[in-house]
Amino acid sequence: MCKSWKTYLLWFAQEHVEFRYAEIESLLSLFKIDMRYLEQPKNEPFWIVQFSSENDIKLLASRSVSLRNCLELWCHAKSIPQLHDKLKCFPRNLMEQHFKSNRSFKIEVETFCKHFTQAEKINKIEAFRAVSLTNPDVIFQYIEYYGTEANNPPELPYEVASGLRQLIKKISLKTRKFIGNTSMDPQLSLLMANQARIKDGAIVLDPFVGTGSLLVAAAQFGGFVLGTDIDYLMLHGRTKPSRIKQKVRDKNESIRSNMQQYNLEHRYLDVLVNDFAVPFWRDDIQFDAIITDPPYGIREATERVGTIKENYTVEEKHLSTHVPAKIEYGISNIYRDLLRFSAKHLKNRRPNEDYNENCLPSHPCLKLVANCEQGLSKVTSRRLLTFEKINHPTDEELRMTHNGIMDFREKYFIVREETRKERRTKEARIREENRLKYGKNQDK
């Protein structure tokens, strides 16, 4: 049977642009939705696409946190006269279903990267000879797009004709019961869960769970979640509060209380105190998804259980109260263990495919399907790497060493030290130039 394709406009929020394409592609794969690109997506907030079913686009919007709206696109043009001419040529039978005598309608005027007064908006509406109502049955969207550079918009607009954005506010850190210094931003948490293709009934693990932001996001999409972390005090809500005005934590602050707050406790399996560097799970346990934001040694230490003392033993009478010592884990070792663990404990999704990536952590049993960047400062950024298990590892692959990656903490402070040296050198050069130009008094 031949499909009848309709053209739609996907309108995205202009946030976390790097994550946009990866999220949509992941959701299309998750729901097995066919979508055609009429124009290759770039960084613009509008995509022109085609769907064969309106139910498909509604399903996509029901999960996407990048989308603002999905609109049926009647026409688009590079000038207002061209837009009116194209609109006149649009098939009347497709219009008439929205203009029935018992249905009200209005036209909303939206602009991107340029402000219009209410009077200017009314003039644009009147150009269509339409009536604007307060509570219409049908809403027609008229959008003028002026690019993405707010400080330098063009004279004329680019003419063009709702997702799950409310979920970002629902799970906001501002109102969440239990948070920490490194709790993941809600929007990024939801994006990560979508890129992991979390669906109803999926078993999801976060091996560096912290305060459980990623578990909240995964549970929102139907996952059954569990996590592990080496920080006993954090998991038991005994660390120092991260909110400025809060002196002590409430007795019931925990990841479980977050799940109760969002009515997701039925999706919560458990969290366990565990050193990720030590084998913990049964060899045959399998997870549908592993999503995590491991520590990188700045705000949270990269630690594992261990000691630098030789032949260190604990007497049996002290074992029940003994707190193990910790040593540096290192982000390179974390990556190595995380990829090995994922290769062993993720469920297969696709047949084996060759994949090679030299600059990023890699494993022959895991395929890198998305690589999204979030800028942290002028010299650092964080990347969300989404891996998909493509094969079960052999014993040899489990023993293989990871390609060397410089420890982030070491690299971070080297860059900072170099930046400080450059700044001091520049300041010294300016002082010397001023001294030679204006005399010795300039140094005072």
What are the pLDDT digits (tens) for 362-415?
888 988 888 887 777 656 778 888 989 999 988 888 877 655 566 667 666 666
Q: How confident is the model at residue 187 (pLDDT cuts 50, 70, 90)?
A: very high
pTM of the predicted protein model: 0.65
pLDDT of residue 223: 96
Structure tokens at 295: 């520590």
The domain made up of 6-166 is a member of CATH 3.30.2130.30: yes
pLDDT of residue 106: 66
Q: Is the pLDDT of residue 444 over 90?
A: no
Distance from C-alpha of 157 to C-alpha of 176, rounded to nearest angstrom: 41
What are the pLDDT digits (tens) for 8-36?
989 898 888 889 999 999 999 999 999 99
Q: Distance between alpha carbon 98 and the CA centroid of its chain, in Å?
A: 37
Residue 15, CA distances (Å) to 154, 191, 341, 361, 423 in order: 22, 11, 32, 26, 32
Q: How confident is the model at residue 355 (pLDDT cuts 50, 70, 90)?
A: very low
Q: What is the mean pLDDT of residues 67-90?
A: 78
Q: Name which of 89-103, 177-191, 244-258, 425-439 the model is least confident about.
A: 89-103
CATH of domain 168-329: 3.40.50.150
Burial class of residue 219, CB neighbours in 10 A (0-12, 13-18, 19+): buried
Residues 416-421: contacts with CB under 8 Å, at least 24 apart: 416/379, 419/379
Q: What is the mean pLDDT of residues 140-166?
A: 58
Element (H, E) at 141: strand 138-145
Q: How confident is the model at residue 437 (pLDDT cuts 50, 70, 90)?
A: low
pLDDT of residue 324: 82
Contact 204, 215 (CB under 8 A): yes
Q: What is the mean pLDDT of residues 1-5?
A: 70
Mean pLDDT of the chain: 81
Greater confidence (129 vs 279) lies with: 279
Residue from 298, 23, 318 nearest 165 by CA: 23
Q: How confident is the model at residue 139 (pLDDT cuts 50, 70, 90)?
A: low
- The amino acid present at 109, given as its one-letter code, is V
